[in-house]
Chains A and B, each alone.
Chain A
């Protein structure tokens, strides 16, 4: 076991008279190098796993393993009745980490909060351009349009004022880009003429502090002794960067690491062996086939329903997802609140499909394209194979589909311009709010901007999802989204394919490990027995 290695190492150390290696070390075989250590300019999970999650905190946090938003650096918050101002009461006595050349002289306060947002928001902030001015998520979540002001009421109170009510706002603040940086550290580095150090040797309030990063090899952290929720159980956290999934599994089996993301193809053998623990969690994602409703014959909902009826979804899930996916009915995954389980999916019924096609005036079928993404995504492991299976099913009802693909960037650009007739695509949620699926993928604005590749803009549906962001009443919002899902299924702008399930394998002696619906890997609260 790992202990043998540890024991051997410490035995050696004893022999030589050097004290080392007696601390508890957890090794995680991670998938890739982080792009850098500043979460606000990145969008990839491996960067967040290395930066925002161990090093930083946010005003509010997703409770580990759920999409629920709970207190973080803010103890509590209050929305005004008009939904335009949010006042956050900050936690007292939160200690900053130390770094080479930096000893914090004060605790976390409102100045840090304002700095962290202005850095992404105000072009005149001295840090706006440091490392990169491409603050992707801040822009993508429409913060420049949404934010009116951020004010310091006192050292431990911050007030955000919005230009319009936006119910998911608090959930947005739990996202990685909203991590809080130390203003004191930033000022010091600016004065020293090395502002980029803030992003290279990050200082946060989080449970682990960065010790060393060797590109493509290893990231080392040690537990932050003064972490405000208590010091982590493990003393050292090491990410051994291992891109190949089968190599990761071999390393896990050889006790060279404690935790790793396995290949779906290996799940069966891991279960059979029974030597490792396997965690699973339905992902916050959806894979779908969108119909371009502005083009004939997909402007007729009977045709869209017919395609839904003609495709054998179960066969796709079995053949392509290999147990790492569940058939999708709604445009949001079941882990998300407001998921409507009363909505029934279209059954596999080619005869009924033919009947609907006849009613729609195309009894002998038609010719169409069927786009398949050129890349593997968590929500869609093999779009080409799915395309082929659909093609065969559709041929049985007289629809001749031709599979098309482009380079990935080109594919999205063309799909967003609506050049397809049928195209596969998918989405992974950002903030655990249904709005992040409904308006981004099916709203009328998104039909113009591109995110809604079905180009489906349906008034009754649109009214429901717009009303749902103008109120903070959860019961009311849930009700509105449930109704929207009924309309979605009836109108069938998509064929919903699947929600993927994510897995994590770990050694048996690892305790307290939890998977997050956002695909985050968090090691605070994890222990080795």
Chain B
């Protein structure tokens, strides 16, 4: 097992270096520099432009800049935003809990609905349930997030008035960010209204962000379940006279879950991509929106640092999933 863990870990290092190089190169290849972007229509005279480029260290060739960047990185220094002049790490840590809270809720939503839906579709194969669930999940999978979010806002917040439109909590509640997770912070605030408001604000973004993973999980559960249900041992279990619930719920589901867990792990990357759009629509103060703003302003340190930190999180989660998978499935563990 130790050997397996070490092999997995050693793969992470080149990936990490690759991410830093890619983030650095892509951002510097985009035309336009932050000084020009700040200057606006006014323009900036070449002398001042040069002085500012020097101040930000942008006058060096990119190889030197990359070297300096890596050197700072080794000291744990991700630099400061060129716009707000705040350290990148502190901006990330204030914003990341919001993204994490939303993503966790979305994954939970997707699993809680996706697993049973996939199971029902598999058990009732080729019935109206199956076709209905698969049709809906295909629609969910193809739904553009932006449009879906606005549609839900118009219906539930606009016409019906059931849910708040955007934000994380009503502006009337003054919550001190202790943990950064608003569900916890609002519970700590002794005001039950605050918690209720936080939950109400979470509903629509959770649905919007959870829709694609929900569809994927439902489809994956169905096909994996169908495969398992056709196995000999299931027939044996049935022939033995086991209750249908035990056959499906215990014997089939456990084995069907293995590929589903992998898929859930792989969804983390998709989730962050979806979070960028979801956060923009719902004014959700997370890292997705932060990165989008940074692109527009050519805020290099934020973009590099943000991509790197998110990349690290995705790699971390995938690593954990890989290890878990090895734990569940001895064949993988021993192959290495």
The chain A residues found within 8 Å of chain B, CB to CB, are 5-6, 8-9, 12-13, 16, 18, 20-21, 25, 27, 32-33, 35-36, 43, 131-134, 136, 139-140, 211-212, 214-218, 220, 238, 240-244, 246-247, 250-251, 253-254, 256-257, 406-410, 412-413, 416, 425-428, 440, 449-451
A9 and B193 form a contact (CB under 8 A): yes
B283 and A244 form a contact (CB under 8 A): yes
Interface string of B286-297 (1 = CB under 8 A from A): 100110010000
Given A32-B293, A246-B150, A451-B43, are A412 and B36 also a contact pair (CB < 8 Å)? Answer: yes
B76 on the A face (CB < 8 A): no
Select which of B33, B154, B161, B165 is within 8 A of A251 by beta carbon: B165
B37 and A254 form a contact (CB under 8 A): no
Given A134-B52, A254-B157, A409-B33, are A215 and B38 also a contact pair (CB < 8 Å)? Answer: no
Interface residues on B, range: 35 or more
Please give, as numbers and ranges, the residues of chain B lying within 8 Å of A21 by CB-CB distance: 172
Instruction: Determine which residue in B31, B158, B280, B298 has the highest number of CB atoms from chain A within 10 A of its CB, and name it.
Output: B31
Name the distance in Å between B192's Cβ and chain A's nearest Cβ.
7
Please give, as numbers and ranges, the residues of chain A lying within 8 Å of B174 by CB-CB distance: 211-212, 220
Name the distance in Å between A401's Cβ and chain B's nearest Cβ.
22
Can you report 14 A-B residue pairs in the complex whose CB atoms are below 8 A from each other? A9-B172, A25-B172, A33-B293, A43-B42, A136-B39, A216-B283, A217-B168, A241-B283, A243-B289, A244-B281, A250-B158, A407-B30, A412-B43, A413-B36
Chain B residue nearest to A406 in the complex (CB): B31
Give complex CA distance A451, B39 in Å: 11
B312 on the A face (CB < 8 A): no
Give complex CA distance A336, B293 in Å: 33
B177 and A35 form a contact (CB under 8 A): no
List CB contacts (< 8 Å) of B169-187 with chain A: 170-172, 174, 177
Chain B residue nearest to A416 in the complex (CB): B43
Name the distance in Å between A498's Cβ and chain B's nearest Cβ.
15
Closest 4 CB pairs of A and B: A409-B32, A409-B36, A216-B285, A217-B285
How would you classify the secondary structure of chain A's contact residues: helix, strand, loop or mixed? mixed
Select which of A32, A36, A242, A254 is within 8 A of B158 by beta carbon: A254
Instruction: Determine which residue in B32, B150, B298 has the highest number of CB atoms from chain A within 10 A of its CB, and name it.
Output: B32
Give complex CA distance A140, B40 in Å: 11
Give complex CA distance A63, B158 in Å: 37
B157 and A250 form a contact (CB under 8 A): yes
B95 and A215 form a contact (CB under 8 A): yes
B285 and A256 form a contact (CB under 8 A): no
Please give, as numbers and ranges, the residues of chain A lying within 8 Å of B161 by CB-CB distance: 254
A134 and B55 form a contact (CB under 8 A): yes
Given A216-B95, A256-B170, A407-B30, are A451 and B285 also a contact pair (CB < 8 Å)? Answer: no
Chain A residue nearest to B82 in the complex (CB): A132
Give complex CA distance A12, B85 in Å: 41
Please give, as numbers and ranges, the residues of chain A lying within 8 Å of B55 by CB-CB distance: 133-134
A140 and B31 form a contact (CB under 8 A): no
Please give, as numbers and ranges, the residues of chain B lying within 8 Å of A36 by CB-CB distance: 84-86
Please give, as numbers and ranges, the residues of chain A lying within 8 Å of B166 by CB-CB distance: 242, 244, 247, 250-251, 256
Please give, as numbers and ranges, the residues of chain B lying within 8 Å of A212 by CB-CB distance: 174
B38 and A43 form a contact (CB under 8 A): yes
Q: How many residue pairs, one in A and one in B, have C-beta atoms under 8 Å apart?
A: 144
B31 and A139 form a contact (CB under 8 A): no
With A6-B172, A9-B172, A215-B95 given, can you name 20 additional A-B contacts, CB distance below 8 Å?
A8-B193, A16-B191, A35-B83, A35-B84, A43-B38, A131-B85, A134-B55, A140-B42, A211-B174, A215-B290, A217-B98, A246-B150, A247-B153, A250-B153, A406-B31, A408-B37, A409-B33, A409-B37, A412-B36, A451-B42
Chain B residue nearest to A410 in the complex (CB): B31
Please give, as numbers and ranges, the residues of chain A lying within 8 Å of B150 by CB-CB distance: 246-247
Please give, as numbers and ranges, the residues of chain B lying within 8 Å of A33 by CB-CB distance: 293
Select which of B170, B190, B290 is within 8 A of A5 by beta carbon: B170
Please give, as numbers and ranges, the residues of chain B lying within 8 Å of A238 by CB-CB distance: 171
Give complex CA distance A254, B83 in Å: 33
B280 and A132 form a contact (CB under 8 A): no
Name the distance in Å between B90's Cβ and chain A's nearest Cβ.
10
Interface string of B130-158 (1 = CB under 8 A from A): 00000000000000000000100110011
Chain B residue nearest to A242 in the complex (CB): B283
Please give, as numbers and ranges, the residues of chain A lying within 8 Å of B33 by CB-CB distance: 409
Name the distance in Å between A20's Cβ and chain B's nearest Cβ.
8
B192 and A12 form a contact (CB under 8 A): yes
Give complex CA distance A377, B161 in Å: 33
Name the distance in Å between A463's Cβ and chain B's nearest Cβ.
24
Chain B residue nearest to A220 in the complex (CB): B174
List CB contacts (< 8 Å) of B260-306 with chain A: 280-283, 285-286, 289-290, 293, 298
A256 and B164 form a contact (CB under 8 A): yes
Select which of B31, B94, B168, B170 is within 8 A of A215 by beta carbon: B94
Given A5-B170, A215-B91, are A247 and B164 also a contact pair (CB < 8 Å)? Answer: no
B282 and A247 form a contact (CB under 8 A): yes
B171 and A408 form a contact (CB under 8 A): no
B37 and A247 form a contact (CB under 8 A): no
Give complex CA distance A12, B191 in Å: 9
Please give, as numbers and ranges, the residues of chain B lying within 8 Å of A250 by CB-CB distance: 153-154, 157-158, 165-166
Chain B residue nearest to A33 in the complex (CB): B293
Please give, as numbers and ranges, the residues of chain A lying within 8 Å of B232 by CB-CB distance: none
Give complex CA distance A11, B74 in Å: 54
Name the distance in Å between A340's Cβ and chain B's nearest Cβ.
23
Give complex CA distance A498, B107 in Å: 49
Name the distance in Å between A208's Cβ and chain B's nearest Cβ.
15
A450 and B43 form a contact (CB under 8 A): yes
Chain B residue nearest to A8 in the complex (CB): B193
Select which of B31, B83, B293 is within 8 A of A407 by beta carbon: B31
Give complex CA distance A136, B193 in Å: 45
Please give, as numbers and ranges, the residues of chain B lying within 8 Å of A242 by CB-CB distance: 166-167, 283
Name the distance in Å between B43's Cβ and chain A's nearest Cβ.
5
Give complex CA distance A463, B52 in Å: 34
B41 on the A face (CB < 8 A): yes
Name the distance in Å between A197's Cβ and chain B's nearest Cβ.
13
Select which of B41, B286, B290 is within 8 A of A425 by beta carbon: B41
B48 on the A face (CB < 8 A): yes
Instruction: Determine which residue in A20, A407, A413, A449 has the highest number of CB atoms from chain B within 10 A of its CB, and name it.
Output: A413
